[in-house]
Copies of this chain bind each other. A is one copy, B any other.
Amino acid sequence: MQEKYCSWEEKLKSSGGRLTTPRKIIFYILSSTPKHLSAEDIYFIIHKKNPKVGLTTIYRTLDVLVKIGFLNKFDFGDGHSRYELIEAPNKQHHHHLICRKCSKILDYTDFIEEEIKLVKATEKALSRKYKFEIKDHVFQFYGVCDKCKK
């Protein structure tokens, strides 16, 4: 029952995928930023050094990374899907504060302990009651950031 931890490269290959140059670049970009990048964000970053990589490939690679469980896909309501690696240096389980005016996104980890307790209990109860197998959750707070309050 013990899952073996493995790198995204291993997971990719073990699922029949190939380790290609665009995929390595895209993963590297994702692992080098604390931001929540959109496909287009990544496209512009890549384009400076690797103008050949197309936007389509970026969308496809993001899908792959989400599918093998190394990437989270978020909708913060600004019209672009945004992505963030699940496991990364200096990154732990966290949630988001989103400014409704400027779309700034803030990671926070306050109350994560309490939250995890609540989530565990909720997952257990909901699984039993609704026969729903819960895989993950998204908590987001919306409001107005410091600067946008004027």
Contacts and interface: CB of A to CB of B under 8 A. Distances in A.
A59 to B, nearest CB: 14
Interface string A129-140: 111111111111
Interface residues of A, number: 36
A87 interface: no
A125 B99 contact: no
A122 B133 CA distance: 27
Copies in the complex: 2
Contact of A130 (B106, B121, B129): B106
Nearest to A114: B118
Nearest to A73: B77
A142 interface: yes
B140 A137 contact: yes
A111 B106 contact: no
Contacts of A99: 132
A99 B133 CA distance: 9
A126 interface: yes
Contacts of A132: 97, 99, 106, 141, 143-146
B133 A142 contact: no
